[in-house]
Amino acid sequence: MKVLVVGRGGREHSVVEHVNKSDLVTEIYAAPGNAGMERHATCVPIDEMDIEGLVKFAKETEIDLTIVGPENPLNAGIADAFIAEGLRIFAPTKAAALLEGSKDFAKKFMVKYGIPTAAFRTFTDPEEAKAYVKAKGAPIVIKADGLAEGKGVTVAETVEQALDAIDYLMVEGAFSGAGKKVVIEEYLEGREFSLIAFVHERNVFPMLPARDHKRAYDNDEGPNTGGMGVFAPVPDISQEIIDYATENILQKAADGLMEEGRPFTGVLYAGLMQTESGPKVIEFNTRFGDPETQVVLPLLENDLVQVILDVMDGKDPQLKWKDEACVGVVVASKGYPREYEKGKLIPQGELKENTFIIEAGTKRTDAGLVSNGGRILLVGGIGKTLQEAREKAYDYLTIFDGNDDFFYRKDIAKFS
Ligand code: AMP
Ligand code: GLY
């Protein structure tokens, strides 16, 4: 089979690595891809939003299966365009991807189908939004309705912060108007985890739970980022909680989307808060998580491509998970998520067994591998226990110590 992976980040590099392990696959293409993917895939310079260009490439190259990483092309209808041309794509249609594309749609959908989530209200008028915040008090959560590169959420600790967020989104029109409409949500207290599933219509097959560390610095301090580290599975999330969330959140979402005439095919991601009254949805994404994918796929025993084909054919892929743990630590450019420089030489170490690297913001030059983004790469470790896995990752990371161009968190998956 010829497989095309759409995207350019760590998540897509991880997908390429696992597609590469499949016996079914002879050729892998990535569009536009990154330096890390070049080892296994032919990177073609087509932007992930150039849907026409991607369809044309897939037809000409006779791609058998396309897997999409990022949310923007999903919301722009990449799956619809491929399906219209008879091309096989593992991705939700634009109608189904609205579950991530509009928080207002997602919240109303959850209420309609009895999916537990934070209480909320939607506003299109900033003055009404502000009056509501003043009446409710802090902490309170302000969310842009539309896609905002993961930056549309403010967890406001004070009313002042909440009002500023409303101004930023609704009055200043940040994120190209994605925040003209805002969802204001009850603050949920608890432990966060991500539960991600392969889904086709009413069939839901969950992966192992993962937990992402979103703050830039140790002890969850500093600004929010796209993720500084991640681990799977999550020791404080029991099988009972996972079963409950699968049945009452993921399954209800898949069934609800069928009822709405928006059948879902692809990866459905539930960002959850384990509260005193059980798991509640923080957000739905309609794609693989980044960086969760980088630690979940290494624990999958099955052939990823076979899993996708089975799921799309309405079969049970019989997922099997290794009885191991995986920890991923992100190395970022100094200054990220604010200002940072690119083009810095990335130190290279020797990868020992059960240690791996997934690249995101990298570029190959004559001088060697250099940084080309905020988050450079993820160092992963696999072990019998979380502790063993984290030692593997941190053992490699010592090559970055004393290097002023990069930083990484020292407390990923630390439980004591
Ligand atoms: P999101 O961009 O939707 O992933 O949200 C970013 C982060 O904000 C989440 O990972 C949570 O840590 C936090 N968050 C979002 N909604 C809530 C909420 N209702 N209560 C508490 N924290 C939240
Ligand atoms: N890890 C959060 C996300 O993929 O959106």
Place of tokens 């990220």: 336
Of the candidates 268, 407, 257, 416, the one whose C-alpha atom is nearest the C-alpha of residue 340 is 407
- In a shared domain, residues 237 and 285: yes
Count: domains in the chain: 4
Decide whether any atom of ligand 1 lies within 6 Å of the 270 Cβ. Answer: no
Q: What is the pLDDT of residue 173?
A: 83
Asked whether the predicted pLDDT for residue 400 surpasses 80, the reply is: yes
The Cα 37–Cα 230 span in angstroms is 21
User: Would 107 be classed as within a structural domain?
Assistant: no
The answer on 198 and 284 residing in a single domain is yes
Residues 290 and 338 in one domain: no
| Average pLDDT value for residue range 206-225 | 95
The answer to whether residues 298 and 331 belong to one domain is: no
Question: What's the rounded mean pLDDT across residues 46-67?
Answer: 98
What is the structure's pLDDT at 78? 98
Domain endpoint, select from 74, 93, 112: 93
Q: Say if 110 falls within a structural domain.
A: no
Tell how far the Cα of 200 is from the centroid of ligand 1, in angstroms.
27
Residue 22 falls within a domain, yes or no?
Answer: yes
Domain region containing 136? 125-180
Are residue 269 and residue 196 in the same domain, yes or no? yes
Q: Strands 27-32, 42-43: parallel, antiparallel or unpaired by DSSP?
A: parallel
Q: End-to-end CA distance of the chain, in Å?
A: 46
- Position of tokens 């932007």? 47
The verdict on 39 and 86 lying in the same domain is yes
Place of tokens 């898949």: 254
Are 44 and 88 members of one domain? Answer: yes
What's residue 292's pLDDT? 98
Tell me the residue ranges of DSSP E strands in 245-403.
Answer: 265-275, 278-285, 325-333, 355-359, 362-365, 368-371, 375-383
- Residue 73 and residue 149 in one domain: no
| Whole-number percent of the chain with pLDDT over 90 | 94
In a domain, 118, yes or no: no
What's the mean pLDDT when you consider all of the chain? 96
Whether 285 lines ligand 2, by a CB cut-off of 6 Å, is yes
- Establish if 186 belongs to a structural domain: no
pLDDT at 258 over 90: yes
Residue-wise pLDDT tens digits, 140-192: 999 999 998 878 899 999 999 999 999 999 988 888 878 889 999 999 999 99
User: Ligand 2: does its nearest atom lie under 6 Å from the Cβ of 290?
Assistant: yes
DSSP 8-state assignment for residue 399: G
Record the pTM.
Answer: 0.96
User: Closest ligand 1 atom, CA of 192?
Assistant: 12
| Protein residue whose Cα sits closest to atom 3 of ligand 1 | 283
If asked whether residues 196 and 239 sit together in one domain, one would say: yes
Instruction: Identify which of 276, 292, 288, 287 has the alpha carbon closest to the alpha carbon of residue 116.
Output: 276
Over residues 188-209, mean pLDDT: 98
Quick one: 174 and 195 in the same domain? no
Asked if the peptide bond before residue 116 counts as cis, ω within 30 degrees of 0, the response is no
- Four-point Cα dihedral 52, 54, 58, 60, nearest 10: 60
